[in-house]
Amino acid sequence: MPSKDSNEKVVSVHWFRQDLRLHDNPALLASIKNCDKFIAIFINDGFTGGLHGTGYNQAKFLTQALHDLNDQIRAVGGYLHILKGQPSDIFRALHAEVGITHISFEQECEAIWQDRDDAVRKVAAELNIELLEGVSNTLWNPFDVLAANGDTPPVTYDMFLQVTSCLGEPDHPVPNPEWDDLLFAEITENLATRLKLYNEVPTPELLGCYPQGREDMQNIGGETHALNLLKRRLSMEEETLSEFFIHPEMINPDLLRQSMSLTAAITIGCLSVRKFYWDIQDVYFKLYGGISPPTTELILRELFICSSIHN
C-alpha cells in the first residue's frame, strides 16, 4: 500500500492493462489505500489489450470492457482516463504535472511485455516513484513456479501439478475496493492534450480496427457482463454436475445461443481467473465434497504462461 511521508501528498495511479475489472485486483486495492488522490488510466500503446494485429471483434470486445469499467468508476466519482502513447512517457508527464508518487499494475509476465515494463521501472526509479505490482491474472505467480522448479518452466502437465503442489493452493480473490472518501485527481486540458487523452471511450475504428465483412459478435465485453455470465455458467455447471456430467455445453449443444465461454473475459481480465477457479471449487465441494473439480483447462493456461516467460 502507499506509504505516506508527512510532507508529501500520496497520488496513486492505477494502470489498467489486462485487468479490466474492479473485483480481485490487489494492485488496485494497494493503490487506493491511504492515498490522497487517485487516477485510473488505460494506455493505448498499440499493443496492450491485444490491439496489435487484432480483428474488429476483439477490438470491440475491448472497447466494451473499457466502457463498462469507465461506467463503474464514474459511478463513484471518477473517470477512466484513456491515453495514447508510450507508458514511460506518460508516467513521466503525470509525475511532472500531477505529482504522482505511486504506480500500480497487475503483473504481465509474458516476455513480449518486458521491454515496456522495464522502461516504466526505469522511469519510476529515476523519479523516485514507488511501484505496486499485484499478481491476480494467474492462479500462481509464474516466477514462483519457475523458482520452485530450478528456474526452468515445467514442461508437462503432470510436472506442473507436482511443482505447484509445493506452492499450495492458489490465493483466494481479494475484496472489492472501498471507494468511500476517495478523491480523484484531475487532468488539466493542457495535460490532456499532451497525453492524447480520448474525450470518450474510443470505438474500434478509433483504435484502427475496421469491419472486414459481416462480423456478428456473440461475446460481450466488460466486467459486469462477465460476472453475470459466470453466475449463469455456475448454475449450468451445478445442474449438469448433479447429473454426473462434466461439460454442460457438450451435453446439450446450442449453436445459435450466445456462448457461455468465459475465455475472452479472462484473457483481458474482465473476470478474475482466481474467482472462476474458486467458484468452480465451491460448486464441486457443495455437490461432491472433497473431489477435485475438472480445472484442466485453467491449469494448462498456467503451464503455457510459465513457458512463455523467457520466450
CA-closest candidate to residue 129, choices 97, 184, 92, 182: 92
pLDDT value at residue 308: 87
H/E segment holding residue 81: strand 80-84
Confidence grade of residue 51 (pLDDT, cut at 50, 70, 90): low
- The residues near 46 (Cβ < 8 Å, ≥ 6 apart) are 52
> What's the number of CA atoms in the CB half-sphere (13 Å) around residue 87?
28
- For the stretch 125-170, pLDDT in tens is 999 999 999 999 999 999 999 999 999 999 999 999 999 999 999 9
- For the stretch 268-298, pLDDT in tens is 999 999 999 999 888 888 877 766 677 888 9
- The residues near 252 (Cβ < 8 Å, ≥ 6 apart) are none
Domain ranges of the chain: 11-136+173-194
CA-closest candidate to residue 279, choices 247, 245, 231: 231
Question: β-strand 37-44 against 80-84: which pairing, if any?
Answer: parallel
The superfamily CATH assigns to domain 11-136+173-194 is HUPs (3.40.50.620)
Task: Decide if pLDDT at 12 tops 90.
Answer: yes
CA-closest candidate to residue 241, choices 274, 279, 271, 209: 279
pLDDT value at residue 246: 58
pLDDT value at residue 248: 58
Confidence grade of residue 62 (pLDDT, cut at 50, 70, 90): very high
Average per-residue pLDDT in the chain? 88
Q: Judging by beta carbons within 10 Å of its beta carbon (0-12, 13-18, 19+), is residue 51 exposed, middle or buried?
A: middle
Cα 278 from chain centre:
17
- For the stretch 75-119, pLDDT in tens is 999 999 999 999 999 999 999 999 999 999 999 888 888 889 999
- For the stretch 256-272, pLDDT in tens is 566 778 999 999 999 99
Share of the chain above pLDDT 90, in %: 66
Through-space distance between the first and last CA atoms of the chain, rounded to whole angstroms: 32
- Confidence (pTM): 0.90
